[in-house]
Amino acid sequence: MDNRIEQARQRIHDAYSHKDTGEMPVLVMDVNYWVSGESPQLIPDDYFTSPARMLEFQLAKINRHLASIQDDYIPLLYPWYGTGVAPSAIGSNVLFQRGMDPAVEGPVLERPEDIRKLRPPNPLTDGLMPRVLETIRYFRQHSDLPVMFTDAQGPLNIALTLCGVENFFVWVKEHPTLAHELMDYTTQVLIEWIRVQKQYAGQPESSGAFPHSILLPEGFGGVCISDDDCTVISPRMYREFVVPYNSRVFQAFGGGTLHFCGSAKHQIENFLATEGLTGINCFCMGDFDQIRCMQQRFDNRLALMVCDFTPLHIDSYYSEILGDLRTKGTILAAYPAAEFALEDGKYQIVSRDGAQLAEEVARIIGPRLARPRQLLKTPS
């Protein structure tokens, strides 16, 4: 096992270092910490109320994965409470619904002047933050696996959650000073929140991150943030109202990666202008032209994690994407989802067996890569 983990670490480090080794790291990520897309009967009723149950659920997935799939996954634990933890500590109400990930109910800022009433949250008392810290503490007490900080939506996503997408874009035009103040506020909240979690998890500030469960190797930073709304904002607005604040987050932790789902080809130059950014995690949703553009522009500058939830037509999807991918600077990750599938750039509701799906992905991807070993573990 130690040799397997060390080989995976080296392959991922080579990708971030843009070494042309002729192979790329590959992950079949069926060890998801979220529950959306999971088979309902497998989700514990108390997953979000019992750290012990969350640990048990995640360890069972890890052990099953390691026993059946030989890829570049490195085990970790994740205190998962949805994408609204930071907003919950600022006043947002979070809904918990059976079989679904926690979700924020609605915005809390109605007028631009409300921005100046915001105060820094207390991680020990406010919203879901104490529950996250309790879970990190429990994980460390009962396992030797590394513990990741919880989901980190970037400053833009936190701001949009607090005030709503429509309000934010109006305020950017009509009250730009207040919009900048909101971005400054969400940036500082995020930095301080991640710092507290890293202290609880025993992580150095400049390492220890796993963007969507993919190791961020030593020397390339200690943070990963999500910025899905980069897909719907203009490049000019993104450059003024997002790039400086994302840069502050990355610089605070010695660098890091940015995630988004969909197409953000119009933001490529803004990504390259983001200080401290070392990699992009893109759930491309079948937009392979975007991947080709990013590989060309990111060469020797940013690592590229090419990801997607498992497509409906697995063979044809990976035949096309693997025909285009450069092995240099690239990581390929497939995320099997039992309850939905990617088709024509959208996710469709489709029920499949999760374990069989993961093994099918591994069989299809494995022979197409120049690797010195099989992707699937050979039964003894």
Residue type, 219: G
Domain-located, residue 357: yes
Instruction: Please check the confidence at residue 264 and state whether its pLDDT lies above 70.
Output: yes
Specify the number of domains making up the chain. Answer: 1
Q: Average pLDDT for residues 210-219, to the nearest whole number?
A: 97
Q: Which residue has the higher pLDDT, 224 or 21?
A: 224
Domain-located, residue 60: yes
Buried b (16+ CB within 10 A) or exposed e, 185-198: bbbbbbbebbbbbb
Q: Are 183 and 153 in contact (CB under 8 A)?
A: no
Domain-located, residue 378: no
pLDDT tens digits for 23-44?
899 999 999 899 989 998 999 9
What is the CATH classification number for the domain harbouring 39? 3.20.20.210
Containing structural domain, residue 293: 2-368
pLDDT tens digits for 182-205?
999 999 999 999 999 999 999 999
Burial class (CB in 10 A: 0-12, 13-18, 19+), 105: exposed
Domain-located, residue 377: no
Helices (H) and strands (E) counted in the chain, each on its own, are 13, 10
Domain-located, residue 373: no
CA–CA distance, 100 with 118 (Å, rounded to integer): 29
Domain-located, residue 374: no
Instruction: Please check the confidence at residue 79 and state whether its pLDDT lies above 80.
Output: yes
Domain-located, residue 310: yes
pLDDT of residue 372: 47
CA–CA distance, 187 with 158 (Å, rounded to integer): 9
Domain-located, residue 248: yes
3-state SS assignment for residue 330: strand
